[in-house]
């Protein structure tokens, strides 16, 4: 299990959008994730480059996979609110610290550790309700973003419409460095009010995208899938915690409902696969490490 004793609560849910590509969803639950991954041709190109990058490192005798806990990611947390108090989006220091603790627990089997560098607070009603791809998002991130490609910038806001958050992919950074980062619904952090998505795993899920993962149901029941060989095929997103669900009956394995990159309740999520860890590691090395 992923759980950890925190000062408020621990673990929440998911949603994502790239800065340049997103699609409106037709129901509130779908708004958990607003990000649309690149089209298959673009995904295939990214994957081919990743494989070539890993092979190039191996041929040079360089490490292909780093050990757990060996990479520290600096985190800059930007609290965007419309006034004082948690009800207005001004989440507490304890909630922020708990969110970082949730990330470190969830990513314990990966190379990544998250270290909070700073917290800033901005009262701006327009930025507070920013939508993915909007001028408000561009303005907020341009003004607030800190660090290099290897720095994780987390923005808490209240975009509305049931949206829990969105993120950019590693390969997006070069074209749009100022837009790089993760946006979280403020009430999805530990101790927030968006149950059953208020235990911090919106952050876990979105950071997974920021490190290069797609959804477990990417590509549905096709062989292409999420570009990770050890996540079972899944026809569509899972909600709640549907134990025994098997949406791709012609493929091996039950649906990966406990995976952080599905859409299940926070309490149901507790794992990444070894293949996902390797993918995150290689894409971080390729696009973020030292950049």
pLDDT in tens, 172-195: 999 999 999 999 999 999 999 999
The larger pLDDT score, comparing residue 230 to residue 10, is at: 230
Q: What pLDDT does 7 receive?
A: 28
Q: What pLDDT does 35 receive?
A: 67
**Would you tell me the crossing angle of helices 201-210 and 93-106 to the nearest 10 degrees?**
60
Q: Can you tell me the mean pLDDT for 196-212?
A: 96
Q: pLDDT-derived band of residue 92, with 50, 70 and 90 as boundaries? A: very high
> What percent of the chain has a predicted confidence (pLDDT) above 90?
81
Q: Can you tell me the mean pLDDT for 30-46?
A: 79
Q: What pLDDT does 74 receive?
A: 98
Contact between 26 and 215 under an 8 Å Cβ cutoff? The reply is: no
**Set 137, 199, 206, 234: catalytic member:** 206
Q: Can you tell me the mean pLDDT for 142-160?
A: 97
Is the peptide bond preceding residue 68 cis, with omega within 30 degrees of 0? no
Give yes or no for residue 157 having a pLDDT over 50.
Answer: yes
206 is catalytic: yes
- Pairing, β 71-81 against β 165-167: unpaired
Q: What pLDDT does 131 receive?
A: 93
DSSP reduced 3-state for 153: strand
Region for 11 from its dihedrals, namely left if φ exceeds 0, alpha if ψ lies in -120 to 50, beta otherwise: left
- CA–CA separation, 17 and 31 (whole Å): 10
H-helix or E-strand containing 278? helix 274-287
Q: pLDDT-derived band of residue 287, with 50, 70 and 90 as boundaries? A: very high
Complete domains list, the chain, with CATH: 29-58+63-214+273-287 (3.40.390)
């Amino acid at each position: 299990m992923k759980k950890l004793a925190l000062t408020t609560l621990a673990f929440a849910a998911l949603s994502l959008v790239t800065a340049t590509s997103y699609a409106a969803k037709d129901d509130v639950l779908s708004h958990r994730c607003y990000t649309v991954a690149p089209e298959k041709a673009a995904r295939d190109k990214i994957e081919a480059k990743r494989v070539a990058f890993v092979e190039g490192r191996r041929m040079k005798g360089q490490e292909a996979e780093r050990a757990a806990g060996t990479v520290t990611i600096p985190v800059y947390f930007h609290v965007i609110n419309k006034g004082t108090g948690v009800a207005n989006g001004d989440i507490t220091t304890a909630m922020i610290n708990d969110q970082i603790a949730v990330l470190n627990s969830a990513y314990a089997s990966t190379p990544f550790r998250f270290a909070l560098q700073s917290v800033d607070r901005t009262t701006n009603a327009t930025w507070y309700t920013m939508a993915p791809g909007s001028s408000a998002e561009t303005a907020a991130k341009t003004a607030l973003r800190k660090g290099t490609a290897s720095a994780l910038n987390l923005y808490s806001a209240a975009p509305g419409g049931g949206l829990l958050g969105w993120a950019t992919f590693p390969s997006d950074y070069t074209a749009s460095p100022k837009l790089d980062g993760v946006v979280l619904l403020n009430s999805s952090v530990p101790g927030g009010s968006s149950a059953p998505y208020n235990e911090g795993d919106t952050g876990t899920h979105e950071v997974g995208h920021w490190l290069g993962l797609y959804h477990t149901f990417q590509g549905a029941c096709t062989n292409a899938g999420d570009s990770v060989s050890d996540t079972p095929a899944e026809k569509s997103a899972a909600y709640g915690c549907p134990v025994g669900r098997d949406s791709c009956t012609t493929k091996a394995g039950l649906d990966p409902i406990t995976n952080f990159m599905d859409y299940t309740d926070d309490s149901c999520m507790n794992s990444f696969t070894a293949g996902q860890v390797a993918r995150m590691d290689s894409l971080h090395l390729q696009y973020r490490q030292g950049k």
